[in-house]
Structure 1
Amino acid sequence: MSALVVGILVLSLVAASAMVAVVTRPVSVLPAASVETIAEPGVPDAVLVSRTLFGASPTAVVVPERTDAASSAAAVELTNRNRVPMFRVAPTTVGAVADELRRLGVQQAVRIGGEVPDLGVPVTDDTGVVAGDAAPNGEGTVVLLSQAGDDAVATAQASGAETVSMPAPDPRVSGEAVRLLKEQPDAPVRAIGPGFGDRAQLVRRIELARTVPELPGGGQLMFPGRRVVALYGSPGAPELGPLGRQSIPASIARIKALAARYDKLSPVPVVPGFEIIVSVASADPGPGGNYTSVLDVAAIRPWVDAARKAGVYVTLDLQPGRTDFLTQAKMFRALLLEPHVGLALDPEWRLKPNQVHLTQIGSVEPAEVNRTSSWLADLVARNNLPQKALVLHQFDADMLGDRLKIDTSRDELAFVIHADGHGVPHVKMSTWNRIVQGLPPRTWLGWKNFFTEDKPMFSPKRTMDVQPHPWFISYQ
């Protein structure tokens, strides 16, 4: 028989995932179309996985809703070794699990970790009844998992499928998911759970996963598959931040070492970053009278190129003075065409007519942010680029106006509200607590540590203890 290649996407947390049907040793395989989303309210992921992958199974592993880590690990190991389904049973899922056990033809279930409700089949503590053949399945299964529970993951693995855990219901969020989709271009795909949206949306995202360049760290979505830790500043200007206090190679080494400290604390990979000020607020009006000094693209290009080779994400920071953000953003279009380059808007340095820096605190209207984000999102879409970070700096309530008027709907961008408060810890936290209230939808949070203005500066651990957790952390 020729190998049947299938791919499956599974999600539990946001309730979604994608899958592909397969042949497993104990069962007959259920037929599969090319791409399909599967969701049913109230039905747990493990049951949906079992329905999709298993035609029959004489035994199954069951565990109570809550049990200790050792018992859970033992149940997963038993499931994988014997290639049978596993179900975590809660009071709200008893009916769905019992129905699936009947469909599978389970004659006896093995219980691990404590008592479970009546499931309509004999239950035993004797793990010997599920002794099975651990030979690998040769049917070429691919399974893409998106934060499903351990029972759903174990059930998928027991079928012989390859698995990758993803933090969101989108195949683009994980480098491993992207790799598997590229390696299996003809594999049917199943999306289990509502988070993946309808079939058309899933098909489009699979196409993007297979064709769009990847970000540093893998995948094509900024968050939540990675966390960015960045040096802030401008080349050759040490007074503006730590990025400009050493050479390009030394800056790369410095931020990689700092990111590594966070990597030990973060549940997702930490990517090193540069936040480069490419237009600098100036005390003098300058030739155009706009109180801003724009760096030459050629001066920034070596930093961007070196960052790409080193796996460093770059954000171009704008301090436009009396110029608008969109006008300045367009000056750096050539750099923004790079897959690993995003954009940051710094409203503190966006002046109204007759305002000057350090006398008034700047601000920007949501309409100007929307014009800039729309242009940037179109740039991403038209040039087959991965999602870009659009970082909006803020420490004062008025700096971004009515934030709910900021349009964050464009999937091409990851919108970050970045808290720039500094000072003693209680002052920083007061600023943070104000900023995290009333956020626009689909926004992520950023945090800045200051080497000199913070007294004391937060350690990586203390930074990661901030709630909600920041996803973009910069150092100035």
Structure 2
Amino acid sequence: MTDFAYASRLKAVVLPALGLFLTALLPSCGTRTDAEGNATAEAAEAAAAKPAVVDTVALKREAMRRDSLKADSIVKASGQLPGSILPGKRIIAFYGNIRSKGMGILGREPKEQMLAKFRKVQKEWQAADPSIPVQPALHNVTITAQGSPGKDGKYRLMNSKATIEEVIKWARENNCILFLDVQVGWSDLESELPKLEQYLKSPDIHLGIDPEFALKTKKVKPNRKIGTYDAKDVNYAINFLARIVAENKLPPKVLIVHRFTQGMITNYKNIKLDPRVQVVMHMDGWGNPILKKDSYRDYIVKEPVQYTGFKLFYEYDPRPAPHHMMTPKEVLAELDPKPLYIQYQ
């Protein structure tokens, strides 16, 4: 009950009773007291009739809590929510930015050449592990860390609406899900993720967050130092996606969290999972396969969250010799647990 409603009810109960008490004590003032008592009762009734102030934030929070409890019960009964991608499929993704040749395979080659290569990779993975279907994905860096501060000094830039709509079209034409990736620079997830909400309301669009370019100190430009996220940042992203799933009655979202050093994620034990969001901790390092496998073991397996991912680099893994880009069979044979998200850059 709000303070306002409580006060109204108090007036309605106490003041009329007080009027009767005064009538008993002062009979000569009966007419005036009755009039005042009636006026007071009418005022109290009018006040009580006014609608109480509604705390919409609290109501929304309670609705989300009920949705989460319902989701938890479904997961306990069946193992996952309807429409979940993981662990029933292995996601194979091509990463980059369709407007940039330097960010990854997604934009490095002409569209049709890139898609032909991608289809070949999907077949390789399906042949390497026929037991689990391949789910193709495009992974587009949509909010990108920058070397210059920009007008607001945040060192990041969002793709244009036209670019986002184009990559959505690419994905849907090729039966892919789409990940929109975020590099916040000197900004933060609370400021950047709402910009993507209109797109994340679609069931086939998911999210990636990259702590490498999250510079909390505001003293170093992006790409000069490896950034970091704390569990509370990951939890914000999880809760943000969970709300979108609940409000729009969507299947669970997949959240990719990049990582290749100890410090990129802090307090991992405090990450709070939600059945409406499937979290992939993604080993994002490049180079010698031995070092990549060590990083996977030390930063992904030893600090488990939910599902695991592994990145392969067309340009940086094969050099210098004897380095090479691991094949699907090598990844599956040499990594435990076997990653369910594979990204090619």
TM-score by length of 2: 0.72
Contact 2:282 2:300 in 1 (8 A): no
CA root-mean-square deviation:
2.3
2:169 is the alignment partner of 1:305:
yes
Equivalent runs, 1:358-397 vs 2, <5 Å: 358-397=223-262
Partner of 1:335: 199
Contact 1:230 1:275 in 2 (8 A): yes
| Change in 2 beyond 3 A, CA 1:271/1:200 | closer
Matched residue type, 2:314: F
Equivalent runs, 1:61-100 vs 2, <5 Å: none
Aligned to 1:386, the other structure's residue is in SS state coil
Contact 1:255 1:273 in 2 (8 A): no
| Change in 2 beyond 3 A, CA 1:461/1:285 | same
Q: Sequence identity of aligned pairs in percent? A: 28
Matched residue type, 1:273: A
> CA separation in 2, counterparts of 1:283 and 1:472?
29
**Structure 1 runs (4+) greater than 6 angstroms displaced:** 196-201
TM-score by length of 1: 0.53
Matched residue type, 2:297: N
> CA separation in 1, counterparts of 2:313 and 2:185?
23
> CA separation in 1, counterparts of 2:310 and 2:252?
20
> CA separation in 1, counterparts of 2:286 and 2:190?
28
Contact 1:231 1:255 in 2 (8 A): yes
Equivalent runs, 1:455-474 vs 2, <5 Å: 455-465=323-333, 466-474=335-343
| Change in 2 beyond 3 A, CA 1:200/1:308 | closer
| Change in 2 beyond 3 A, CA 1:350/1:198 | closer
> CA separation in 1, counterparts of 2:251 and 2:75?
19
- The number of aligned residues is 267
| Change in 2 beyond 3 A, CA 1:446/1:200 | closer
2:99 is the alignment partner of 1:236:
yes
| Change in 2 beyond 3 A, CA 1:436/1:288 | same
Aligned to 2:290, the other structure's residue is in SS state helix
> CA separation in 1, counterparts of 2:94 and 2:103?
11
Alpha-carbon distance, 1:271 to partner: 1.4
| Change in 2 beyond 3 A, CA 1:202/1:437 | closer
| Change in 2 beyond 3 A, CA 1:328/1:248 | farther
Partner of 2:289: 425
Alpha-carbon distance, 1:248 to partner: 4.2
Q: Which runs of 5+ in 1 are unaligned?
A: 1-195, 210-219
Contact 2:139 2:179 in 1 (8 A): yes
Equivalent runs, 1:407-426 vs 2, <5 Å: 407-408=272-273, 410-426=274-290
Q: Which runs of 5+ in 2 are unaligned?
A: 1-70, 318-322
> CA separation in 1, counterparts of 2:73 and 2:253?
24
Partner of 2:184: 320
> CA separation in 1, counterparts of 2:75 and 2:225?
49
Matched residue type, 2:269: L
> CA separation in 2, counterparts of 1:378 and 1:439?
26
Matched residue type, 2:332: M
Equivalent runs, 1:251-290 vs 2, <5 Å: 251-266=114-129, 267-290=131-154
Alpha-carbon distance, 1:397 to partner: 0.5
Contact 2:72 2:275 in 1 (8 A): no
Partner of 1:434: 298
Contact 1:225 1:269 in 2 (8 A): yes
- The superposition leaves residues 180-237 of structure 1 with CA deviations (integer Å, 9 ceiling, x where unpaired) of xxxxxxxxxxxxxxxx99689759x8xx74xxxxxxxxxx112111001111100120
| Change in 2 beyond 3 A, CA 1:246/1:379 | same
| Change in 2 beyond 3 A, CA 1:246/1:407 | same
| Change in 2 beyond 3 A, CA 1:337/1:254 | farther
> CA separation in 2, counterparts of 1:199 and 1:230?
29
> CA separation in 2, counterparts of 1:397 and 1:340?
31
| Change in 2 beyond 3 A, CA 1:394/1:200 | closer
Matched residue type, 2:339: P
Normalized per residue, which structure has more helix? 2
Matched residue type, 1:236: R
- Out of 404, 407, 421, which is 2:269 matched to? 404
Aligned to 1:332, the other structure's residue is in SS state helix
Contact 1:422 1:449 in 2 (8 A): yes
Aligned to 1:359, the other structure's residue is in SS state coil
Aligned to 1:327, the other structure's residue is in SS state helix
Contact 2:75 2:275 in 1 (8 A): no
> CA separation in 2, counterparts of 1:324 and 1:228?
27
| Change in 2 beyond 3 A, CA 1:309/1:362 | same
